[in-house]
Chain A
Amino acid sequence: MSLLTFAQWVQSTPLFTAIRESWYVYPAIMSSHLAGISLFGGMVFIVDLRLLGLAMRKRPIADVVNQLRRLKWVGFAIVATCGILMLGSKAEEYYYNAFFRAKMAVLALILVHALLFRRSVYAKAAEFDRSGTVPGLAKLAASLSLVLWTCMVICGRGIGYIEPPLDKLHARVIEHLHQRAQSADRIVYLDTRTN
């Protein structure tokens, strides 16, 4: 099974068909996606800005990093769930969308970022507080995080600007109609002969 046939199968399932065919469910999911970004995206900003020494400077770094960690994960779960629901309902369109592919690549980089810096930076926040200095590595991690999440927003908004390739999406429909037209021709022909 190719990725394309998998995408076609996913969006044909009853749940995703229902999402696609309702006029308000899809925008409601998209709104929830954006609401999640607005409620929890600020936490990413603030944690990174704290590491860079720009926000909440009076509070220990460990306090800011540790007390927002769980909420950040809750937010990520909400935003990702809405994202998957949108993806599933229009999987074939997304398959052809260059911005969607770029967004998934950025998401993969965010995962790599988390794996790379979790131990070396985020788990060491209390050490930075004790020593009173934030190492360059931590500032690099914070800057990269801001850049990567900005790229996520840009790619996400970009998805809506790519026109779906209707010729490809409708290829199967057109082929089906063509076959039906051909068989319809034969029926007409037979009818005229019997008259």
Chain B
Amino acid sequence: MILQVTNPLNSSELIFPTLECIHIAGFALSVGTIAIVDFRLLGLGMNHQSTAEVAADLAPWTLLGLVVMLTSGPLLFSSDPDMYYLNWVFDLKMVLLLLAIIFNYTIRRKTAYSGKSGTRAKVVACVSITLWVGVVFGGIFLAFI
């Protein structure tokens, strides 16, 4: 017997675009707050505060954004897994996302709380920004491949 599974996500035309908007808001909040810390590491903004202060203030908002992004993302995926499964840009995006999250909670976190502000800190900020921009590019390009 073949079990027919229907995803409730595909029951209304409005659900997918609504989830997409929530996904965008989620990454604007998570990546946006991460970027503020990165710009602080680069000495481009929030210079009256220490990097550690900025990072500590924004950590809960980054986490909230990540939760929103990582909830809406898999739901979007579930609407058409076959399309994503065969898409090599999607694979690349997932690898970059994993690297970006790991980097964020290891090296970058340590750097932000260490209070150091030399070349090393600036390189860390650039790597962080590059990884997240890569994730965004992957998200758009997977639809054009």
Chain A residues with a Cβ under 8 A of chain B: 23-24, 27-28, 30-31, 34-35, 37-43, 45-46, 49, 55-56, 58-59, 63-64, 67-68, 70-71, 150, 153-154, 157-158, 161
Task: Given the known inter-chain contacts A27-B144, A30-B140, A158-B17, please indicate yes or no for A68 contacting B46, CB distance below 8 A.
Answer: yes
Q: What's the Cα separation between A56 and B40 when bound, in Å?
A: 15
Known: A42-B35, A45-B32, A161-B17. 5 other contacts (CB 8 A): A39-B35, A39-B133, A67-B45, A68-B36, A157-B17
Q: Which of B1-40 contact A (CB under 8 A)?
A: 17, 20-21, 24-25, 27-36, 39
Q: Which of B21, B132, B140 contacts A27 (CB under 8 A)?
A: B140
Question: Chain A contacts of B141 at CB under 8 A?
Answer: 27, 31
Task: Given the known inter-chain contacts A30-B140, A35-B136, A56-B57, please indicate yes or no for A41 contacting B49, CB distance below 8 A.
Answer: no
Question: Chain A contacts of B77 at CB under 8 A?
Answer: none
Question: Chain B contacts of A31 at CB under 8 A?
Answer: 136-137, 139-141
Contact assessment for A38 and B31 in the assembled complex, using a CB-CB cutoff below 8 Å: yes
CB distance from B100 to the nearest CB of A (A): 11
Question: Chain B contacts of A23 at CB under 8 A?
Answer: 144
Query: Which residue of chain A is the closest to B137 with respect to CB atoms?
Result: A31
Q: What are 18 A-to-B residue pairs whose CB atoms are below 8 Å?
A: A24-B144, A27-B140, A31-B139, A35-B137, A38-B27, A38-B32, A38-B132, A40-B32, A41-B29, A42-B31, A46-B33, A46-B36, A58-B57, A63-B46, A71-B39, A153-B25, A157-B20, A157-B21
Question: Chain B contacts of A70 at CB under 8 A?
Answer: 45
Task: Given the known inter-chain contacts A68-B46, A71-B44, please indicate yes or no for A45 contacting B28, CB distance below 8 A.
Answer: yes
Q: Which of B24-75 contact A (CB under 8 A)?
A: 24-25, 27-36, 39, 44-49, 53, 57-58, 61, 65
B127 close to A (CB within 8 Å): no
Question: Chain A contacts of B47 at CB under 8 A?
Answer: 67
Query: Which residue of chain B is the closest to A50 with respect to CB atoms?
Result: B57
Report which residue of B31, B33, B132 has the largest number of chain A beta carbons within 10 angstroms of its beta carbon: B31
Q: Which of B30, B49, B57 contacts A55 (CB under 8 A)?
A: B57
Task: Given the known inter-chain contacts A40-B32, A46-B36, A56-B58, please indicate yes or no for A34 contacting B49, CB distance below 8 A.
Answer: no
9 pairs of A and B residues whose beta carbons are closest in the complex = A42-B32, A41-B28, A38-B31, A31-B140, A31-B137, A27-B144, A39-B35, A35-B136, A35-B133
Chain B 120-145, CB-CB to A under 8 Å as 1, else 0, gives 00000000010011001101110110
Task: Given the known inter-chain contacts A31-B141, A35-B133, please indicate yes or no for A42 contacting B57, CB distance below 8 A.
Answer: no
Question: Chain B contacts of A45 at CB under 8 A?
Answer: 28-29, 32-33, 61
Contact assessment for A59 and B49 in the assembled complex, using a CB-CB cutoff below 8 Å: yes
Query: Which residue of chain B is the closest to A33 with respect to CB atoms?
Result: B140
Contact assessment for B24 and A39 in the assembled complex, using a CB-CB cutoff below 8 Å: no
Task: Given the known inter-chain contacts A35-B137, A58-B57, A157-B17, please indicate yes or no for A40 contacting B35, CB distance below 8 A.
Answer: yes
Question: Chain B contacts of A27 at CB under 8 A?
Answer: 140-141, 143-144
